[in-house]
Structure 1
């Protein structure tokens, strides 16, 4: 039976004081082989994140069936930090995307950063990313890590903006060493970036203000408008981390909704991989605790590129992907040796 009236029925409005959510899915089942140093990497990730977020930020950690020691560490961080206000523990590894979808659907912040558990954050990453959303109201996905090779990845809306609303031009890469470190952290047999990619990236300028961003971005760490999760898809992901699952649930919805996919010009985070190096500890220890309250979130407006405009953008994207027309277009944007790009 029920006695009385639940007092919360008279308190129906949800008011949130924070505007930026960070979601960190983590899967460390043991400490052998591939995962031998993953726990140390994860601890560096959390340390750098807690030091660099502003006061209007809250953090969700999604434990995808980690080892008990990792679970205990997560619970300790939850108890000690005001910023970590949500922890989810799953007894099965449901994959990165389902962890992100479950966490994002239950939160109200207009900006949601998704990050792998092996990201080392630098001072000022949040201010740099949020500044992009202020200066580019059409931005939907912004990474604090630029990539000179991401300009063709689900960027139809971005290409339309570049041709008709902004301005495109190649510029010198601000931090080629950081881009090279990212390449090395992937552990591939062949490096992804050629020398030209470490020298130049394609920059998109906003004609109406001083905003400048790099075309395209990856998704190992990126901040998105929550619309991408609200309106992108209602399906669960039946694949954990391969088979284009991140493209289906993050990249494609962002582009189809008419949002730009871009990155900051400066490098504000590192991908550590699964092995620690001394420079990672040096950066983490040098970080100062952020004291900012962030920005006035009302400065973040929401505009979208329309359906027919996206179709025009997709035409430009096909021309950029075509090996015959790409050199001509890239040369038009100021690249001297487009055939090597």
Structure 2
């Protein structure tokens, strides 16, 4: 039996206070072996978020993807203290499926998705919005520059700027910070030191951005996530994150990264330097300008991402492109082709 009307019937769900969502999926099943330091690192991740974002603008969603009871209790306390806006507890359904749970049911302009071992640095949110506003075709904006990001679903960015002087190889702004990322994933910097010298990017006025983006931490225009909300059978790996990597290109938009480094990848071992980072609260001084973009036709998509890609794989064309855009011959000899 039902008596009377539900007071929420026909009410519009909206909250104009927030324009930016941060989604962090976390899976810490225990605190031993591989996961020995994971809880401490996750706490540092959340601290870096809470101390660097404009809290009045930012909606924080944590997806507890089957973590142990200690993590669940910690997150419940944060939620009760209103330090995070949303907590979703789930069994271990896989990273991408957990992310989708955070995306569904919201309609924020920007959505940042990051691993639970990400340390955000002061100014990252403001600089991310600056890049989106400076380059209206940006669909994904990362905050950790890496040399070869242009080789990962960025053919359309190269095509759109092929004859533009604003696209060139720039000297890396913060090589020591870039090196810290490479070391965190086990790269041999004695062999790959040239990755710290030049990076392919775009320049518009006072704003520079690198071409390409990693997926361990990046911000997406909400509309490009609408088409990838489906079940993924892999918990991690198995190319499951390619859906995020491809999202911008599939919508005719660009993948970019801030020119300076605004995050660290901490990995699974806590180190002393992590306690030395000082965070500062930020109040946004600029707002995100959402410029609507239509998806490209199938023929345009094929031209930019299939035909042009084949042309760029021709060694003579590939090498000429690098030289014209300012990459020294000494580095060109080491890096091979521009596209995988």
Tell me whether the two structures share a fold, i.e. TM-score over 0.5: yes
Contact 2:97 2:230 in 1 (8 A): no
What SS does structure 2 have at the residue aligned with 1:123?
A: coil
Aligned partner of 1:260 in structure 2 is 254
Aligned partner of 1:336 in structure 2 is 328
Contact 1:25 1:99 in 2 (8 A): yes
Contact 2:140 2:219 in 1 (8 A): yes
CA distances 1:242-282 after superposition (whole Å, capped 9, x unpaired): 111100x2122321111100100000000000011111111
CA distances 1:66-120 after superposition (whole Å, capped 9, x unpaired): 11111111111222244x1100111x21111011111112211110000000001
Aligned partner of 2:202 in structure 1 is 204
The whole-number CA distance in structure 2 between the counterparts of 1:33 and 1:166 is: 51
State the TM-score, normalized to the length of structure 2.
0.91
Shift of the alpha carbon at 1:164? 5.5
Aligned partner of 1:214 in structure 2 is 210
Aligned partner of 2:52 in structure 1 is 52
Aligned partner of 2:3 in structure 1 is 3
1:313 to 300, 304, 313: 304
Shift of the alpha carbon at 1:2? 1.3
Shift of the alpha carbon at 1:204? 1.6
Shift of the alpha carbon at 1:313? 2.5
Aligned partner of 1:89 in structure 2 is 89
The whole-number CA distance in structure 2 between the counterparts of 1:34 and 1:203 is: 36
Aligned partner of 2:338 in structure 1 is none
CA distances 1:175-233 after superposition (whole Å, capped 9, x unpaired): 11111111111135x45982221000001234xx4432101110000000111211x23
Aligned partner of 1:235 in structure 2 is 230
Distance 1:15 1:121, change over 3 A: closer
Aligned partner of 1:135 in structure 2 is 134
Shift of the alpha carbon at 1:32? 1.2
What SS does structure 1 have at the residue aligned with 2:220?
A: strand
Over aligned residues, Cα RMSD in angstroms? 2.0
What SS does structure 1 have at the residue aligned with 2:256?
A: strand
The whole-number CA distance in structure 1 between the counterparts of 2:314 and 2:183 is: 28
Q: Where do 5+ consecutive residues of structure 1 fail to align?
A: none
Contact 2:23 2:113 in 1 (8 A): yes
Q: Where do 5+ consecutive residues of structure 2 fail to align?
A: 336-340
Structure-to-structure mapping, 1:104-123, within 5 angstroms: 104-123=103-122
Q: How many residues end up aligned between the 2 structures?
A: 330
The whole-number CA distance in structure 1 between the counterparts of 2:5 and 2:124 is: 46
Aligned partner of 1:68 in structure 2 is 69
What SS does structure 2 have at the residue aligned with 1:295?
A: coil
Contact 2:139 2:224 in 1 (8 A): yes
State the TM-score, normalized to the length of structure 1.
0.91
